[in-house]
Amino acid sequence: ERLQADLYQALERQELVLHYQPIVDLAPRRISGYEALVRWEHPTRGMVPPVQFITLAEDSGLIVPIGRWILREATRQAAAWQQPDGRGPRMSVNVSVRQFQHPDLVDDVTEALRASGLAPDRLTLEITESLFAEDTAGTTQKLEALKALGIRLALDDFGTGYSSLSYLRRFPIDVLKIDKSFVHGIATCSEDRAVIGAIVALGQILDLVLVAEGIETADELAALEQLGVQYGQGYHLGRPGPPQHASPAAERRR
Ligand code: G
Ligand code: G
Ligand code: MN
Ligand code: NA
């Protein structure tokens, strides 16, 4: 298809951009970090959302050079946002299944950290549960290698896929991102509320950081805080935007 041919050129034509959405520490209402979300500014089609081209990139293998660029750019931006005292926002980067499975991933992350100078503990990689359905020995080994770099690992869209408690214990996961489908039901549906309550208990037992995704209303936020979820993300707290919109300096001006 035409779009696939265009994607080959998108990288070198610098049509890919990263937007950043804040992840908020709820009790102090402070930005803890940002999630990098890729966008393609197509010359004639306008903004192409990632759901339309990430699959295309995975099928063509282009996800590897594209993913490498995303890691480079997100770590460069995060490094630029660090303060002189060494404190600064975290950066979360999504890694798709094919990118995770590629033999270059650990080298690519190492190189992005080296080139940017970003402290490894500022970087979080977001992976999905679908990884656990595959080669578990290879998956474990790679997760351990990534952890050895000093970065954090987050399980994205938690609760929607193939998750089991034994995986959470076996794999070196630091963060659970509670899927937005549970968050949307929280104000009205007692089952969704109970599920999130159970995830909070699980997080305490397994010492995991919890981030609720897709918070769109003040009611959802209040319910999540009441349940003891520490971090949140969503349109109610901040939309994804270009770096100048997301920067910590812009935040202080608000
Ligand atoms: O940003 P948006 O909500 O439209 O993202 C849609 C989907 O695309 C989500 O599943 C998200 O994880 C994925 N996505 C967004 N940015 C990236 C990226 O940089 N790399 C990968 N692999 N997936 C991304
Ligand atoms: O799969 P992943 O969780 O990485 O994708 C996050 C996606 O959710 C991005 O496409 C982002 O634009 C989108 N998103 C962020 N905040 C909200 C929100 O409050 N509501 C909804 N519906 N989507 C959101
Ligand atoms: Mn994500
Ligand atoms: Na998610």
Residue with more model confidence, 168 or 150:
150
CB 124 within 8 A of CB 81: no
Mean per-residue pLDDT of the chain: 93
Ligand 3 centroid to Cα of residue 186, in Å, is: 20
Query: The whole model's pTM is what?
Result: 0.96
**SS3 state of residue 143:** helix
Identify the pLDDT of residue 254: 55
* Tokens found for residue 188: 């009205």
Residue 207 domain-assigned? Answer: yes
**Structural domain boundaries, residue 156:** 2-248
Assess if residue 217 is contained within a domain: yes
- 23, with CB counted inside 10 A (0-12, 13-18, 19+), is buried
Q: Decide if pLDDT at 205 tops 90.
A: yes
Q: Is the alpha carbon torsion for 231, 113, 134, 171 positive or negative? A: negative
* Domain-located, residue 58: yes
The residues with which 93 forms a beta bridge, in sequence order, are: 36, 125
38-57 burial, b if ≥16 CB within 10 A, otherwise e? bbbebeeeeebeeeebbebb
Asked if residue 32 is part of any domain, the answer here is yes
Kindly report the protein residue whose alpha carbon is nearest to atom 23 of ligand 2.
214
What pLDDT is recorded for position 208?
A: 97
* 61-82 tens-digit pLDDT: 999 999 999 999 999 999 999 9
Q: How many domains does the chain have?
A: 1
Give the residue, out of 17, 40, 51, with the most ligand 1 atoms within 8 A of its beta carbon, to mutate for a pocket test.
51
Q: CB of 156 closer than 6 A to ligand 2?
A: yes
Domain assignment present for 253: no
Domain assignment present for residue 154? The answer is yes
Which CATH number characterizes residue 83's domain?
3.20.20.450
Residue 252: pLDDT band by 50, 70, 90 thresholds? low
**Quick one: pLDDT at residue 135?**
73
The per-residue pLDDT for range 123-148, each reduced to its tens digit, is 999 999 888 887 778 899 999 999 99
Mutation choice for ligand 2 from 180, 181, 182, CB with most ligand atoms inside 8 A: 180
Q: Is the CB of 21 under 6 A from ligand 1?
A: no
ipTM computed for the complex: 0.97
Determine, yes or no, domain membership for 254: no
